[in-house]
Amino acid sequence: MTIKLCSVLLLLSLTVSAQRKPANYINVMSFNIRYNNTNDGVNAWPNRKDNVKALVKFHDADILCVQEALALQVDQLSENTNYERVGVGRNDGKLGGEFTAIYFDKDRFKKKDGGTFWLSETPDVPSKGWDAAIIRICTWVKLHDKWNKKDFIVFNTHYDHVGVQARIEAAKLIKKKIMEIAPTLPVILTGDLNVTPETEAIATLKTFLTDTKEAAIEPAYGPEGTFNGFKFNAKLQDRIDYIFINKGFKVQKYASLTDSKDQKYPSDHLPIMARLFF
C-alpha cells in the first residue's frame, strides 16, 4: 500500500469519525448518583464508583449533572477524565454536604461564569427553605461552546424529598433566577425534582421551559420511571428526574438508561440523557 493511499484512508477514517457526532450536538446527562452511605452494603459507593464512571464515559456525556454527590465523590468522578466541574456543598457553600455539581468537557467548553443559590427565602446564603426537610441548592454555569461559538447556561438542582410547598416555591425561585441570569441565552435545567410530571412544581417549570422527553424528535427510549431503589426487578414507574430546555435548544433524542452490571444498578436512580442541538 502506498503512502499516498494510506494518507487518503486515514483522512476518510477521520472524516467518518467526526460525522458520528456532529459538532452541534451536545449530550447532556443528569444522574443522581446516591450519596456515599456505608449502610448501603453491596450498593455502597466504593462498590459502584467504577460502574458509574464507565457508564458516563460509554454514553459520551459532554455535560454531566449530578445530584447527591459528596465531596469525595465529586473529586472521584473527575479523576482521569477530561471534565472540568463547578459546584459547592449545600451545607456551607464550600465542601460540606451534597453537591449538585456540573461537569463539562473542557476541550469543547469554556466556563465564563457560574454560581450557586439556595432553594429558600434567602437564596444567597446557605439556608433551608419553606417546609423542606433539609438544605437544597441549585448550581449553574455559563459555558462557551468552542465548536459552535455560542454561549448557553446549565442549571442543576435537587428538590426536597419531603416539603411539598418547598418544591413548589423552588420551581418559582428557579424560574425567577433563570430569567435574571439567562434572559436571552439558551438554557438547560437538569435535576432530581422529587415530583412526578403532573404536579404543580413541574407545571411551573413548563410555563417557560420544555421537557426534553416530550420534545424529542425521536421516540423516547427506556422506561417511564427513573427511581429504582437499587431493586433490579422493581417496576420503574416513578419519574422524578428531568432535563428541561428553553427555546434556544432542540432535542434529537431522550433516554432513561437502565445500564446495570451483575443485576445491580450503578445508583438508586437511573441516569437520564438528552441529545440537544442549537
Residues 42-51: contacts with CB under 8 Å, at least 24 apart = 42/264, 43/230, 43/264, 43/268, 45/73, 48/264, 48/266, 48/267, 49/73, 49/76, 51/261, 51/264, 51/266
The pLDDT of residue 11:
43
Q: Residue written as cell 500500500?
A: 1
Q: What's the CA gap between 233 and 225, in Å, rounded?
A: 13
pLDDT in tens, 107-138: 999 999 999 999 999 999 999 999 999 999 99
Residue 16 has pLDDT above 70, yes or no: no
Q: What is the mean pLDDT of residues 50-64?
A: 98
Beta carbons of 229 and 240 less than 8 angstroms apart: no
Looking at residues 16-38, what average pLDDT do you find? 80
Measured over the CA atoms of residue 225, residue 69, residue 103 and residue 124, the dihedral's sign is: positive
pLDDT in tens, 142-172: 999 999 999 999 999 999 999 999 999 999 9
For 24, the 3-state DSSP assignment is coil
- pLDDT of 209 reads 98
According to CATH, the topology of domain 26-277 is: Deoxyribonuclease I; Chain A (3.60.10)
Residue 4 has pLDDT above 90, yes or no: no
Residue ranges of domains in the chain = 26-277
- pLDDT score at 22: 60
Collapsing DSSP to helix, strand or coil, 201 comes out as: helix
The answer, yes or no, to whether residue 12 has pLDDT greater than 60, is no
131-165 residues labelled b (16+ CB within 10 A) or e (exposed): ebeebbbbbbbbbebeeeeebbbbbbbbbbeebbe
Where does the pLDDT of residue 83 fall: very low under 50, low under 70, confident under 90, or very high at 90 and above? very high
pLDDT (tens digit, 9 = 90+) per residue, 172-224? 999 999 999 999 999 999 999 999 999 999 999 999 999 999 999 999 999 99
The pTM for the full model equals: 0.92
Cell of 161: 424529598
Question: Could you tell me what percent of the chain has a pLDDT over 70?
Answer: 92
What contacts 24+ positions apart, CB below 8 Å, involve 15-23?
A: 21/60, 22/277, 23/147, 23/148
Higher pLDDT, 7 or 36: 36
Return the closest-CA partner of residue 139 out of 197, 216, 63: 63
Judge whether 276 and 246 are in contact, CB under 8 Å: no
Region 256-275: what's the mean pLDDT? 98
With bands split at pLDDT 50, 70 and 90, how would you rate the model's confidence at 24?
Answer: confident
For residue 19, pLDDT over 50 is answered with no
Query: For position 23, what pLDDT does the model report?
Result: 64
Q: Compute the mean pLDDT over every residue in the chain, rounded to the nearest whole number.
A: 93
pLDDT at 8 over 90: no
